Amino acid sequence: MQKIQDIRHSFAHILALSVKELYPDARFGTGPDIENGFYYDIKTKNPVTNDDLKRIEKKMREVLKRNVSFKKKLVAKAEAKKIFKDQPFKLEILKDLEGDKVSVYETDNFIDLCKGPHVDSTEELNPDAFKLEKIAGAYFKGDEKNSMLTRIYGLAFATKKELDDYLKLKEEAEKRDHRVLGEKLGIFMFDDEVGSGLPLWLAKGTLLRNIIKDYLYRELISDGYDFVETPHIGKLSLWQTSGHWENYRENIYSPIDIEDEKFLLKPMNCPFHVKIFKHKQRSYRELPLKMAEFGTVYRFERSGTLHGLTRVRGFTQDDAHVWCREDQLKTELAKLLKQGLKILKKFGFKEYSIYLSTRPEKYVGTDQGWEKATATLEQVLKDAKLEYNIDPGGGVFYGPKIDIKVKDTLGREWQCTTIQVDFNLPDRFQMSFINDKGEKERPYMIHRALYGSLERFIGVLIEHYAGAFPFWLSPVQIKILPVSDKFNKYAREIKEELKEYRAEVAEEKETISKKIREGEMEKIPYLLIVGEKEKKAKTISVRKRGKGDLGAMKIKKFKEIINKE
Exactly one of 8, 204, 270, 420 is catalytic; name it: 270
Peptide bond into 288 cis (omega under 30): yes
For the chain, the distance separating the N- and C-terminal CA atoms, rounded to the nearest angstrom, is 51
Pick from 210, 264, 257, 287: nearest CA to 458:
210
Exactly one of 20, 52, 317, 339 is catalytic; name it: 317
Can you tell me which of 74, 76, 169, 258 binds a copy of itself, judged by CB under 8 A?
A: 258
Residues 504 to 533: which contact a copy of itself by CB under 8 A? 508
For residue 319, indicate whether it is catalytic.
yes
Q: Does 136 bind a copy of itself (CB under 8 A)?
A: no
For residue 240, indicate whether it is catalytic.
no
Are 112 and 13 within 8 A, CB to CB? yes
- Smallest gap from Cβ 243 to a copy of itself, in A, equals 15
Q: Which is nearer to a copy of itself, 240 or 376 (CB)?
A: 240
Can you tell me which of 209, 299, 447, 456 binds a copy of itself, judged by CB under 8 A?
A: 209
What does the alpha-carbon distance between residue 60 and residue 54 come to, in Å, rounded to a whole number?
10
- Smallest gap from Cβ 92 to a copy of itself, in A, equals 26
For residue 270, indicate whether it is catalytic.
yes
What does the alpha-carbon distance between residue 511 and residue 250 come to, in Å, rounded to a whole number?
55
Task: Tell me the window of 54-62, 83-91, 230-238, 386-394 that interacts with a copy of itself (CB under 8 A).
Answer: 230-238
Q: Which is nearer to a copy of itself, 66 or 275 (CB)?
A: 275
Give the number of residues in contact with a copy of itself, rule: CB under 8 A: 50
- Smallest gap from Cβ 55 to a copy of itself, in A, equals 38
Are 469 and 523 within 8 A, CB to CB? yes
Exactly one of 20, 321, 523, 535 is catalytic; name it: 321
Q: Tell me which amino acid residue 429 is.
A: F
Residues 309 to 348: which contact a copy of itself by CB under 8 A? 313-314
Q: Does 195 bind a copy of itself (CB under 8 A)?
A: yes
Q: Which is nearer to a copy of itself, 169 or 258 (CB)?
A: 258
CA atoms within a 13 Å half-sphere pointing along the CA-CB vector of 189: 9
Q: Does 279 bind a copy of itself (CB under 8 A)?
A: yes
Using DSSP bridges, classify how beta strands 256-258 and 233-235 pair: parallel, antiparallel or unpaired.
unpaired
For residue 447, indicate whether it is catalytic.
yes
Q: Coil, strand, or helix at residue 158?
A: coil
Q: Coil, strand, or helix at residue 541?
A: strand
What does the alpha-carbon distance between residue 116 and residue 97 come to, in Å, rounded to a whole number?
15
Q: Does 143 bind a copy of itself (CB under 8 A)?
A: no
DSSP 8-state secondary structure symbol assigned to residue 328: G
Q: Which is nearer to a copy of itself, 209 or 535 (CB)?
A: 209
Q: Does 414 bind a copy of itself (CB under 8 A)?
A: no
Task: Tell me the window of 201-209, 351-359, 413-421, 516-524 that interacts with a copy of itself (CB under 8 A).
Answer: 201-209
What does the alpha-carbon distance between residue 565 and residue 561 come to, in Å, rounded to a whole number?
7
Q: Which is nearer to a copy of itself, 235 or 282 (CB)?
A: 235
Exactly one of 27, 178, 266, 447 is catalytic; name it: 447
DSSP 8-state secondary structure symbol assigned to residue 447: E
Are 416 and 344 within 8 A, CB to CB? yes
Exactly one of 319, 403, 408, 422 is catalytic; name it: 319
Task: Tell me the window of 199-207, 328-336, 432-440, 457-465 that interacts with a copy of itself (CB under 8 A).
Answer: 199-207
Peptide bond into 117 cis (omega under 30): yes
Q: Residue 437: CB partners within 8 Å, gap ≥ 6?
A: none
Kind plus residue range of the DSSP H or E element containing 326: none
Q: Residue 344: CB partners within 8 Å, gap ≥ 6?
A: 352, 404, 406, 416, 417, 450
Residues 295 to 314: which contact a copy of itself by CB under 8 A? 296, 298, 300, 302-303, 313-314
Q: Which is nearer to a copy of itself, 254 or 563 (CB)?
A: 254
In a 10 Å sphere around its CB, with 0-12 CB exposed, 13-18 middle and 19+ buried, how is residue 401 labelled? buried
Can you tell me which of 2, 36, 237, 409 binds a copy of itself, judged by CB under 8 A?
A: 237
Can you tell me which of 47, 117, 127, 234 binds a copy of itself, judged by CB under 8 A?
A: 234
Q: Which is nearer to a copy of itself, 406 or 445 (CB)?
A: 445
Task: Tell me the window of 164-172, 294-302, 352-360, 536-544 that interacts with a copy of itself (CB under 8 A).
Answer: 294-302
Q: Does 392 bind a copy of itself (CB under 8 A)?
A: no
- Smallest gap from Cβ 430 to a copy of itself, in A, equals 12
Per-position b or e across 62-93, b if 16+ CB within 10 A of its CB? ebbeeebebeeeebeeeebeebbeebebbeeb
For residue 477, indicate whether it is catalytic.
no
CA atoms within a 13 Å half-sphere pointing along the CA-CB vector of 241: 17
For residue 273, indicate whether it is catalytic.
no
Exactly one of 27, 209, 244, 401 is catalytic; name it: 401
Phi, psi of 383 (to 5 degrees): -60, -35
Q: Which is nearer to a copy of itself, 12 or 478 (CB)?
A: 478
Phi, psi of 438 (to 5 degrees): 80, 10
For the beta carbon of residue 102, count every other beta carbon within 10 angstroms: 22
Evaluate the CA torsion angle 423, 429, 433, 435 in order and state its sign: positive
Can you tell me which of 45, 145, 285, 536 binds a copy of itself, judged by CB under 8 A?
A: 285
Give the residues lining the site for a copy of itself (CB under 8 A): 189, 191, 193-195, 198-203, 205-207, 209-210, 226-235, 237-238, 253-254, 256-259, 261, 263, 265, 272, 275-276, 279, 285, 296, 298, 300, 302-303, 313-314, 508
Active site residues: 270, 299, 317, 319, 321, 401, 447
